Chains A and B, each alone.
Chain A
């Protein structure tokens, strides 16, 4: 009870000089606001990353033909990745659940009667369905027999179905692609749009052999999608694959690769993009202003102890113990940082709302930053408040009253 009374004295000292109190808490306000924004950005980024990685497939490695750093190239222009490479990977790299080679052609005209459409064409093996967890919602998928017999069949996405067939039932109908007629045997599940804005459902999928020999006339691959059986080994498997292809393609490292290996880690890195830099920048800003704010507060309090020696002497004469004086000043610094924290949270929250409405930055508001802020406020209030409080408590009453 007595401690409460003493604490109230610390609070009232704060209220009596509002401008001074504001200067004391300015650093805390900015620091905590930055912290709240940082955590919202961090959480938003992680959510975005998770989503991208999940879209990509957390267990998926892509071995893509052609060097460079971009994701799959606009078209298959590099001829070095072959079915034999895919077989070698299957043979020599352990713990791969599946290896799914594929070829593709972007923006190819496909026709049905009078209707036509520029669509993305993929030639795949039967395990493509599992590799992408992408099945038919209607009809049948690509089978081993389709691949073995180079059968003239295809699967279509929703966009293709709507554009070429309208209300008509597409099953058993023929689509022409480079003058090859393909019978529609299934309709793919809807996937919507990619993060880049591409339409996943504007797609035509056919057996890889049909695609290579009848339609595209190629003897090389666009990519191989691999699914690991042991996610913890994924990075090592990626390196094994790299070494294997190096050997097969006779590449020695200073020489540029003619293939790329994309892992979920790389996808995550790309998804983080500049938000990582922003994150670090804000973190530095937050820490700096919390520390600078703490030092400013400490100095104002130290000056205030000097200016209030008479008050301290008086309180001692009225029966305040050293502990009482210590508590009073510590309460003052703690209320500065806690109040600063409240205002900082409010400011940070406002900034988050503005950012969310005016920029592309992904933000997630959660309760954690507020919990972290309380801890920070208490830590800083204590750390920078102890020194002035001790100074005040150590004053000898007689000296203080002189």
Chain B
């Protein structure tokens, strides 16, 4: 599904060039739950921006569903983002002035055709993340964990090929973080493809595979023998401690 081949990203500003990604290659198959892990400044966000078609690499090849993303123009990349990618950001990015339901429906505005069942889809999305009761609330009346789940519902509404999450628990307390991770786990079980970017080993260990990134190169890429189970952690405060 995702195929990265020797991806490079060099930032150039005022004559100074900063190489951030120095030849990153890996594949992600449909239905995988992958964590990209690395210390702060290792280029995780840069990589996620490229995966999410928000940015273009300065070198290498990126195939998404066998299509070369490097060759697409800005409008085509926008369409890919709308159709195939669901983003979850550290800072949620919900519109304060809109209700939960409207926030979830936002991506549909940018779809080629506004679906007739938009509202029903948004409701279903919210049900999937366990927020069926909060449709008409405004984001500022929700807890951080709930806000991030609204953001996940929004990412799900266009039924994306892949969900990309950048430090999704970074702004949450441990319990809310685990709630969010349990939503990811459930989505994974339903067959969705998820890439989570994090500096946090505890978070990464919920995925089925961890790709280690350091100084712009992949230093390790291996399956997690026994992924953590967020449901169990929610039941057991002891296990939750590890998250601190």
Residue in B78, B87, B89, B95 whose beta carbon sits within 8 Å of that of A320 in the complex:
B78
The interface on chain B, measured as residues whose beta carbon lies within 8 A of the other chain's beta carbons, has a size of: 29
Please name all residues of chain B whose beta carbon is closer than 8 Å to the beta carbon of A397 when the two chains form the complex: 54-55
Instruction: Give complex CA distance A13, B102 in Å.
Output: 13
Contact B54 A318 (CB under 8 A): no
Tell me the complex Cα distance, A313–B93, Å. 9
Q: Is B117 an interface residue (CB 8 A)?
A: no
- Nearest residue in A to B118 (C-beta to C-beta)? A5
Please tell me if A314 contacts chain B, counting CB pairs below 8 Å. yes
A318 touching B55, Cβ below 8 Å = no
B49 touches A318 (CB 8 A): no
Q: How far is the CA of A319 from the CA of B93 in the complex (A)?
A: 15
Contact at B114–A318, with CB atoms within 8 Å? no
Pair B81/A6 contact, Cβ less than 8 Å: no
Which of A13, A311, A318 has the largest number of chain B CB atoms within 10 A? A318
A83 within 8 A of B: no
A310-B91 contact in complex given A316-B54, A318-B81, A322-B74, C-beta closer than 8 Å: yes
Is A12's CB within 8 Å of the partner chain B?
yes
Bound-state CA distance A2–B209 (Å) is: 39
Q: Which residues of B contact A354 (CB under 8 A)?
A: none
Q: Is B112 an interface residue (CB 8 A)?
A: yes
Chain B residues lying within 8 Å of A12, measured Cβ to Cβ, are: 97-98
Complex alpha-carbon distance, A8 and B107, angstroms: 14
| Set A5, A315, A319, A396: member contacting B79, Cβ < 8 A | A319
Does A371 lie at the interface of the complex (its beta carbon under 8 Å from any beta carbon of B)? no
Q: Which residues of A contact B110 (CB under 8 A)?
A: 2, 5-6, 315, 318-321, 324
- The docked-state distance in angstroms from the alpha carbon of A396 to that of B108 is 21
* A9 on the B face (CB < 8 A): yes
Say whether A319 contacts B54, CB under 8 Å: no
CB-defined contacts of B98 to chain A, threshold 8 Å: 12
Q: B96's closest neighbor in chain A, by CB?
A: A16
Inter-chain contact A401/B54, CB cutoff 8 Å? yes
Question: A398 touching B49 by the CB < 8 A rule?
Answer: yes
User: What residues of B have a CB within 8 angstroms of the CB of A6 in the complex?
Assistant: 109-110
A residues less than 8 Å from B154 (CB atoms): 318
* B78: A residues at CB distance < 8 A: 316, 319-322, 324
A1 within 8 A of B: yes
User: A303-327: contact bitstring with B at CB < 8 Å (1 yes, 0 no)?
Assistant: 0000000110111111111111000
A340 to B55, CA, bound (A): 39
**Are B54 and A321 in touch, CB under 8 angstroms?**
no
How distant is B13 from chain A, measured CB to nearest CB, in Å? Answer: 11
Q: Complex formed: what's the CA distance from A322 to B158 in Å?
A: 20
By DSSP majority rule, is chain A's interface helix, strand, loop, or mixed?
A: helix
**Which residues on the A side are within 8 Å of B75 (C-beta)?**
321-323
Q: Is B206 an interface residue (CB 8 A)?
A: no
Whether A317 lies near B52 (C-beta < 8 A) is yes
Q: Considering the complex, give the chain B residue whose CB is closest to the CB of A4.
A: B114
Interface residues on A, range: 20 to 34
A323 to B79, CA, bound (A): 12
* A398-B54 in contact (CB<8A): yes
Docked-complex contact B52 and A318, CB < 8 angstroms: no
* Interface contact A9-B81, CB-CB below 8 Å: no
Q: A311-B95, A319-B79, A322-B74 are in contact. Are A2 and B54 (CB under 8 A)?
A: no
Smallest beta-carbon distance B20→chain A, Å: 12
Task: Given A16-B97, A401-B54, decide whether A318 and B113 contact each other with a Cβ distance below 8 A.
Answer: no
Interface assignment of B123: CB less than 8 Å from any CB of chain A: no
Of B74, B82, B97, B112, the contact of A318 (CB 8 Å cutoff): B82
Kindly identify which residue among A2, A314, A322 contacts B114, using a CB–CB cutoff of 8 Å.
A2
Please tell me if the beta carbons of A318 and B91 are within 8 angstroms of each other in the complex. Answer: no
Chain B residues lying within 8 Å of A314, measured Cβ to Cβ, are: 89, 93, 95
B220 to chain A, nearest CB (A): 26
CB nearest neighbor in B for A8:
B109
A318–B107 contact, CB under 8 A?
yes
Contacting residues of chain B (20-69) with chain A, CB-CB under 8 angstroms: 49, 52, 54-55
By a CB distance below 8 angstroms, the chain B residues around A9 are: 109
A398 and B79 contact, CB distance less than 8 A:
no
Please name the residue on chain A nearest to B84 by beta carbon. A319
Known: A9-B109, A319-B83. A401 touches B95 (CB 8 A): no
B49 proximity list for chain A (CB < 8 A): 398
Interface positions, chain B 132-181, Cβ under 8 Å from A, are: 154, 158
Is there a chain A Cβ closer than 8 Å to B111's Cβ? yes
Bound together, the chains give a CA A166 to CA B158 distance in angstroms of 95
Bound-state Cα–Cα, A1 to B110, Å: 10
Q: Which of A2, A310, A317 has the most CB of B within 10 A?
A: A317
Residues of chain A contacted by B112 (CB below 8 angstroms) = 2
| Contact A317–B54 (Cβ < 8 Å) | yes
Q: How far is the CB of A2 from chain B (nearest CB, A)?
A: 7
Query: 8 new A-B pairs (CB below 8 Å) besides A2-B111, A317-B89, A318-B81?
Result: A5-B109, A5-B110, A317-B52, A318-B82, A318-B87, A397-B54, A401-B89, A401-B93
Q: Which A-B residue pairs are the 7 nearest by beta carbons?
A: A319-B82, A319-B110, A16-B97, A5-B109, A314-B93, A318-B107, A321-B78
Ordered by A's residue number, 21 sampled pairs between the chains whose C-beta atoms are within 8 Å are A1-B113, A2-B113, A5-B109, A5-B110, A6-B110, A313-B93, A314-B95, A315-B106, A315-B110, A316-B54, A318-B107, A319-B83, A319-B111, A320-B78, A320-B109, A321-B75, A322-B75, A323-B75, A324-B110, A401-B89, A401-B93
